Amino acid sequence: MNNESRLFVGNLSYQTMENDLQEYFSQAGVVTSVNLMLDKFTGKSRGFAFIEFSTPEEANKAVEMFHSKEFQGRQLTVNIARPREERPPRSGRGGGGGGGYRGGRDGGRRERY
């Protein structure tokens, strides 16, 4: 996958579907993939997507054509996607488990004074 041909598209309407994006962004060139990010618990859109074009030139054209343009009532943010490796690894706190207090930023541990 060529990162220069992959776009981040943000500020999407929560009703936007992948085929809407495929159709709209194909005005700039050949869209090879559309990956609409969904909330893993609700299955609803998280309001952003990654769209990949066949060439970096088409991706750049799409940024020029669609950044700050209105789509389905929202002003889009469109830019070249940064590589995923730049993100720090998440801590190993996730996963299921029993109930209990989950409030606060410290994972439920309370300080004693």
Numbers of helices and strands, H then E, in the chain: 2, 6
* Of residues 81 and 111, more confidently modeled: 81
Which pLDDT score is estimated for 22? 98
> Which among 14, 112, 10 has a CA at the least distance from the CA of 69?
10
User: Can you give the CATH number for the domain in which 75 is found?
Assistant: 3.30.70.330
Q: Specify the number of domains making up the chain.
A: 1
**pLDDT tens track for 16-40:** 999 999 999 999 999 999 999 999 9
Which pLDDT score is estimated for 15? 93
Which pLDDT score is estimated for 82? 86
In a domain, 99, yes or no: no
Q: How far apart are CA 3 and CA 74, in angstroms?
A: 25
Q: What is the mean pLDDT of the chain?
A: 85
Containing domain of residue 29, as a range? 3-81
Which pLDDT score is estimated for 95? 56
Q: How many beta carbons lie within 10 A of that of residue 56, not counting itself?
A: 14
**pLDDT tens track for 34-74:** 999 999 999 999 999 999 999 999 999 999 999 999 999 99
pTM of the model: 0.72
Q: How far apart are CA 56 and CA 58, in angstroms?
A: 5
